[in-house]
Amino acid sequence: MIFVTGPLYSGKRTFAQRLPGTRIAEVQALAAEAEDLEKLAEELSAYDIVMATEVGGGVVPMDAGERAAREAAGRLACLLAARAGCVVQMFCGIPTVLKGELPLC
């Protein structure tokens, strides 16, 4: 599995479209509703490409529910990165491989 992460509108989807396989995007939204993040990470790792928007930067929300959702999203990202064979961080449309190697396309 290739885990692609980065800020909103950083080019994650455009980058992932060039890679073969099944993909799922915006998985950080699933984390807020998940009762078991380990189980969710295991289910998501069945996809070839998993994309998540980094939500931990910036101003911390005052609402406790929003803070909990961000915490869950960050924990899910850690679980996915640990399971991934390749982790790519996107920033300004530039992919940086943090772990593993990208397959040749």
pLDDT digits (tens, 9 = 90+) for 25-72: 999 999 999 999 999 999 999 999 999 999 877 788 898 999 999 999
DSSP string, 51-80: EEE--SSSSPPSSHHHHHHHHHHHHHHHHH
pLDDT number for residue 58 = 78
pTM of the model: 0.91
Q: Are strands 94-99 and 86-91 parallel, antiparallel or unpaired?
A: antiparallel
Q: What's residue 60's pLDDT?
A: 85
Residues 84-103: what's their mean pLDDT? 94
